[in-house]
Amino acid sequence: MPKHLVIVESPAKARTIERYLGDDYRVLASYGHVRDLPENPGKGKFGVDVEHGFAPEYVISEDRRKQVDAIEKAAKSATTVYLATDLDREGEAIAWHVTEAAHVPIGKTRRVTFSEITQSAIKDAFAHPRDIDTNLVDAQQARRIVDRLVGYTLSPLLSKKVRSGLSAGRVQSVAVRLVVEREREIDAFVAREYWTLRALLATKAGETFEAELVQIDGAPIDVGNGTSAEHHAETLRALHPRVTSIGTKKQKRSPAPPFTTSTLQQEASRKLSFSPKRTMSIAQRLYEGAETPDGHVGLITYMRTDSTAIAGVAMGEARDVIRERYGEPYTMPKGRVYKTKTKGAQEAHESIRPTSFRRDPDSLAKFLKPEELRLYRLIWQRALASQMEAKELETTTAELVAGPYELRASATRTLFDGFSRVYTEGRDETETADDESDGRLPPLAVGDETTVADITTTQHFTEPPPRFTEASLIKALEEHGIGRPSTYAATISTIVDRGYVRVEERRLRPELIGGLTTDYLVEHFGDYVDLTFTARMEADLDEVANGTREWQPLLKDFFTPLQALIEEKRRTTRRAVIETDEVCSLGHPMIIRLGRNGQFLACSTYPDHKETRPLPGDEAPPQAGEGETCPECNIGTLVGKRGRFGPFVGCDRYPDCGYIKREGPEPPPPLPFDVVCPKNADGKLTARRARRTGNVFWGCSNYPKCDYTTNHEPIGAFHDPDDGPVAKKGDAFLCLKCGAAIEVPTEGSPVGLRLPGGPPDPAALAPARRTGGRPAGGRASGGRSSSGPRGPRRGGRAPRTAART
């Protein structure tokens, strides 16, 4: 029987680790967090006792109860409980929550961490266990409570003042603000025309090269229209530019550092078109392990990190692989060390790298899914290239003068490709690509004259800043110190899923509600959606993690002014609207409101005047009946409208008149007799028509309180033994209450069938027509309802004498 218990987050990680530890260890998975703040703590509550030290009121998730019980049971018989959850704050918190939820004595627990799931790393971690780091737990706890307090106080206010169903978040609202403000920069941008001139020059030997016009009369070129550009071109054609200087410069380009979480998400977006969420999901699988020629092993180090460090052992292995694959010139004499530039980075962690550089992507091709292989190749190439020699370049530049004009010709060639033989980093649109394309200038010397063989004038326009991609937004958040590696992907997913931002051709564009929400928050809660304030909060949480700050005073300093401000804005601010130039039929200004079905124009005097209409361009197409007098109130006029189910025609006096013109076949004729509902004795069966199919069915008049329906037409008879209504079913009959089939003999009365008020009607006993189709919104079977009471006895009828079926 195993003596020790090991707790990890995922089953895949558990299976991999169990292989390395042997029979004395049992590994169980917590499946992530086992406790959290309650989702529905009650009206006006947060799941946090803000009056008593911000004590969190944790509850065990229902879908984690089974795991907690299993851990608690196994821990009782274990000598030691090793908590091997992830090595970041989230993992530290999970370890602590497991001990609390499963009632594991703290003296029985030991904390182990590792950045890669390999046999050597696991054994080393278990050889050096430690206690749970309460500072990291407090930092995670404080972050969770701050996010809860922001979300559960600001979100109800937004729902009241902007639109119902909205939410706010400490990081998500800042991310939306970045997207909104970038879009407004683009809208406000005014393009400026400019022209460039490029000359094709020829030496006396007949060799040609290109030179760009860079200055006119000693000032940088500024040609604003085609006429001016052509004038300069004509003047230059008659001149002979002379070489005034020529120089050669050698330079080295160092490789990009190995991946952090954010740079991995950015590069996977640029090169693989992966969303951040998809990238992290694939990276998780690579970290937890896969079958390889070396057995089941984790393929990459921990993928939530902001460090660019590489362990010394890994650097040595990388140099060996580089030497074997590419030769000594590509091999560094010692490992290259990078300094992490990210604010608040946790330097104790490693970057994202392969657990073994000898496991090259091609050797894993048959073991990994295509998307896993593509991401692994990216990680392997980037990490290996980071330990290779620099790329060497030589740039030759020649300066030429012709009258008032100064031209420049340059060419760059690669002397040694270095790391670029393996990998070159991608670039965003905002970054200027260095011209590293190989080229050469002809032999030139100072004083050489050239001839202008041709001049090309090119029109350009200045361009606005590009819209954010998911990758570039993550980069912006990281640069401002907002969020952490574990939150980037979730933040992007949240703002898209909740409708503040949409992804269009891989670009992020704000929705109207995103702009309206941002405007309201910036106007009334500017500090809380300010980049500097949010970054300062991240730094404060880092201080809690480092043990240099207490978390309860931090929360008090944060929440006390926020709570007071929210109460003030709840009383003093009006609902956010968008003003327009439209007026209603009474001459009042109309505003744009946001409803559950989208945007619409509404009178600004609502509720005194309730007129609404679609936005210009959103009008519903002309429909039959528009312009007619309302047949229900005989006052209003039928107009086209749009609802959540699409266009429809209704009375313009709504809500005073709720008439809606119905399309489709006429409703079926009512039954000529009363039939008590077999499920609900208070209701009666009425004929209806299914909305989508048009088929006739019979349902309880007490819908939606009673949802009984049947496809079989009642005939007005009763099944004697059960007082159940009888209906046609093909060529036979069926009791709608007990489900019994009733046979109809060729002569005489049907067995067990009674018709009130006389003998059976031959027409009623004729073979039934099939209505077909299952009706919408209820039970299609004509069988007996399990919950239906017996129907009432009909007064004035004789005692039962008919034979029972």
Bridge partners for 752 per DSSP: none
| CA gap 518, 529 in Å, rounded | 9
Known catalytic membership, residue 31: no
**Coil, helix or strand at residue 382:** helix
Catalytic, out of 302, 326, 330, 528: 302
Q: What is the DSSP letter of 583?
A: E
Bridge partners for 201 per DSSP: 209, 452
Q: Label the pairing between strands 405-416 and 391-402.
A: antiparallel
Which residue in this structure is represented by tokens 């300069």?
232
**Coil, helix or strand at residue 379:** helix
Within its chain, how far is the Cα of 586 from the centroid?
A: 44
Give the burial class of 756: count Cβ atoms within 10 A of its Cβ; 0-12 exposed, 13-18 middle, 19 or more buried: exposed
Helix (H) or strand (E) holding 384: helix 370-385
Nearest to 125 by CA among 285, 289, 257, 302: 302
Q: What is the DSSP letter of 587?
A: S
Q: Answer whether the bond into residue 156 is a cis peptide, omega within 30°.
A: no
| CA gap 364, 297 in Å, rounded | 12
Q: Are 465 and 185 in contact (CB under 8 A)?
A: yes
Bridge partners for 109 per DSSP: 81
Q: Are 709 and 730 in contact (CB under 8 A)?
A: no
Helix (H) or strand (E) holding 408: strand 405-416
CB atoms within 10 A of CB 550: 13
Bridge partners for 8 per DSSP: 29
Could you give the count of Cα atoms lying within 13 Å of 356 in the half-sphere of its Cβ?
16
Q: Are 388 and 330 in contact (CB under 8 A)?
A: yes
Q: Provide CB contacts within 8 A for 179, sequence distance 6+.
A: 467, 468, 473, 495, 500, 501, 508, 509, 510, 514
Q: Given CA atoms 354, 355, 360, 366 in this order, what sign does their dihedral have?
A: negative
Backbone φ and ψ for 107, nearest 5 degrees, come out as -70, -10
The DSSP annotation for 250-269 comes to EEEEPPPPPB-HHHHHHHHH
Q: Provide CB contacts within 8 A for 766, sequence distance 6+.
A: none
| CA gap 629, 468 in Å, rounded | 51
The DSSP annotation for 35-97 comes to EE--S---TT--SEETTTTTEE--EE-GGGHHHHHHHHHHHHH-SEEEE---SSHHHHHHHHH
Structure tokens at 745: 């003999």
| CA gap 537, 599 in Å, rounded | 36
The DSSP annotation for 730-754 comes to TTEEEETTT--EE---SSSPPTTEE
| CA gap 295, 345 in Å, rounded | 34
| CA gap 667, 339 in Å, rounded | 76
What is the chain's length? 805
Q: Are 771 and 713 in contact (CB under 8 A)?
A: yes
Q: Which residues are catalytic?
A: 302
